[in-house]
Structure 1
């Protein structure tokens, strides 16, 4: 046997092994769905489907990733749901399995775990095939499942489902010709879904890293093929996707910003709020001026609420600092008046002075000095200074907390 023949045979054997491995994974997924359908007890069914979702979200083991039967997908994918979603659109056997899987999924769509599993494993298949072949219900179930998954990431401060989010926003901003026509309602829900979580996920290091900037994301949405096809289908849509008469990208920006405002009102986790407020600062002030007046007022109102101590939002200090900084950047007009009002209320609450003084000494002043010194000092020296500054800030906060509480009790009594 020649060297070329041996190489071709080895390649075919490797492809067959890989396909067999993925068929085994997808076959197990199908068997679990059948078992859940045949189970009459609701608690047992819920436990089975919950275990299925956990298995699908499990990371691919290292030995399987590099040397096992999933080698081809393991190098590209980190989690099993990524490999399954790629297999059902790339391989012929995967396409045949998909028909039976979709039939099983439809029997359990009312279950939360099934909607999430459906979104994780079938999102590529829904986009790569013609949209006319799928019902509106299928896309809506996928969107609902993805929304639940992204919220679970926010509540857990994780990025387990970031690959799914990256795929969705990449499809929304697709500049190439579309494979099919998307329904207007589906496009609206997808755009709102992406807008809600684009400020949370860290897109650096992936193919959608340029979309981390909100202004870039909005402009690419406006120039995408999906957007133009949707507008052509329904020019009088109540969704508001048409460009305003002023020439600014008003409607897409308003939709994105309004969803972010809703998220800022809903999130109760400090670190997630800090991510969102930092993400809003990537908007350009001129784009904010092009927003419709309702969206602009709501954005200004939520930033003002997050930048003010006390009710109704009661934001922690890191959120207040970032919100005031973002407010001054996006709405520079009136920033001096806002600072004067903020200073006046600080004078009326003297028990907060120690914390404010400690924050200015350990955070604001070193930040200004650090910005100047970083340009001069070598990298190793600057790193050691940064770690020392962080330690001193943590120590100062702990020291100041005790007298601050005492002062609060004295002045309130």
Structure 2
């Protein structure tokens, strides 16, 4: 239960301020905290909220941010305790908490948290600032982690841990190897879950988490060595599966250079082969058309990559499976064309025989003939109209038809 009143005790002799919470219990967690901090800031008094020294993070925070983070941490703690006490509502409470910490920081909260609210271009989420807070104040997150550990097997527990403590894990010293492995595994699992949410929703809401794991952990040996070797391998496999989603393929060479050793490397090959195996597995799992089209458009950067014959064949087979209608992939027409483009670009040798063979097999499925003929007619009309337009308006600004 959320308390009906909250007393903010002043350090001077003036009476304390009592805030009514009756109309706030239906608000989201960040909204309630923003209200509290705005109310506190409106009274020019020093409230008896414990302040603590902070190590300067990548963002410049205001003096009021300490009160904000304290209130927000208390709300997170309360919701986790409610989840522990109520098994029937546990899933819903954890889902609500996950949604709260994944919210974008609105303008009011930015003014409270940041010294210069304009210093951040683009979106800033609550998990970004909370992760900084827990990484800078290592002891502040311990009670929350203890509660999450008790909810370890519940849905959304790993999501919350990954969002809130992905920076804390690489700053704190964990004495127990088993506990460190447990934290590291939860981080990888939770990160994978939230990245899949981005795929399902066709967004990049958790890109900052991915960038941190890639640029500040995987490519920094000092931080990478803080987690067990098995967790390092799992982390690199995770990054291999989602690096195209967040348009960070320019980091591939550095990623290959820092790849940890795998015990079966003599069987599967080097870092590039491991990366391609994970990528092909990821492609076969994708069922969202925009995400699949995005992967197929980015995969062309792999041209010229030295691979084992088995890995190259694996990639070729994976792409070829998207070029034919029907099962098991049931690709749309846009996906089939994107797969053909990627396949012909990466493996130009034999592209004409491949198309002839594909056409022959298409003839074995008469129910696809009407749609194929109709699309062929539309494509021809587009090409003719485009050619006429080029003759009438000879300019380079005209874009060719989509083939």
Q: TM-score category by the smaller chain?
A: 0.7 to 0.9
Gap runs ≥5 in structure 1? 1-11, 204-210, 232-236, 245-249, 398-413
2:378 & 2:363 partners in 1: Cα distance? 16
- Deviation track 1:301-320 (CA, whole Å, cap 9, x = no partner) reads 11111012223222111111
How many residue pairs match? The answer is 336
For the residue of structure 1 that corresponds to 2:98, the secondary structure is helix
Counterpart of 1:356 in structure 2 is 376
Equivalent-residue separation in structure 1 for 2:296 and 2:283 (angstroms): 8
Structure 2 CA distance for aligned equivalents of residues 46 and 176 of structure 1: 37
When the two chains are superposed, the root-mean-square deviation of aligned CA atoms in Å is 3.4
Question: Are positions 1:68 and 2:87 aligned together?
Answer: no
For residues 221 and 393 of structure 2, the distance between their equivalents in structure 1, rounded to whole angstroms, comes to 43
Pick the aligned partner of 2:257 from 206, 223, 231: 223
- Scaled by the length of structure 2, the TM-score of the pair is 0.74
| Paired residues of 1:59 and 1:79 also in contact (CA < 8 A) | yes
Greater shift after overlay, 329-338 or 345-354?
345-354
Give the match's secondary structure for 1:277: helix
1:281 aligns with 2:300: yes
Q: Summarize the Cα distance change of 1:164–1:370 in structure 2 as closer, same or farther, 3 Å threshold.
A: farther
- CA offset at residue 371 of structure 1? 11
Cα distance 1:365–1:333, how it changes in 2: closer, same or farther (>3 A)?
A: farther
- Partner deviation per Cα, 1:40-68 (whole Å, 9 max, x = no partner): x4222222212111111111111221x22
1:238 aligns with 2:263: yes
Alpha-carbon separation, structure 2, partners of 1:243 and 1:366: 54
Q: Distance in 2 between matches of 1:372 and 1:172?
A: 55
**Unmatched runs of 5 consecutive residues or more in structure 2:** 1-53, 55-60
1:192-243: CA deviations, max 9, x gaps?
A: 1111112222x4xxxxxxx324xx41x212323xx4xx44xxxxx4253x89
The partner residue of 2:147 within 97, 104, 117 is 104
Q: Determine if contact 2:170/2:223 at 8 Å carries over to the other structure.
A: no
Q: Is 1:322 the equivalent of 2:338? A: yes
| Structure holding more helix per residue | 1
Shift of 1:131: 6.5
Other-structure match for 1:29: 76
**Per-residue CA shift, 1:276-313, capped at 9, x if unaligned?**
111211112x21xx322332222111111101222322
TM-score by length of 1: 0.72
Measure the CA separation in 2 of the matches of 1:82 and 1:365. 52
Q: How does 1:12-411 map to 2 (within 5 A)?
A: 15-37=62-84, 39=85, 41-65=86-110, 67-71=111-115, 75-76=119-120, 78-90=124-136, 94-130=137-173, 135-175=180-220, 177-178=222-223, 180-201=225-246, 203=247, 211-213=248-250, 216-217=251-252, 219-224=253-258, 227=259, 230-231=260-261, 237-240=262-265, 250-284=269-303, 286-287=304-305, 290-345=306-361, 350-351=369-370, 352-362=372-382, 377=396, 382=397
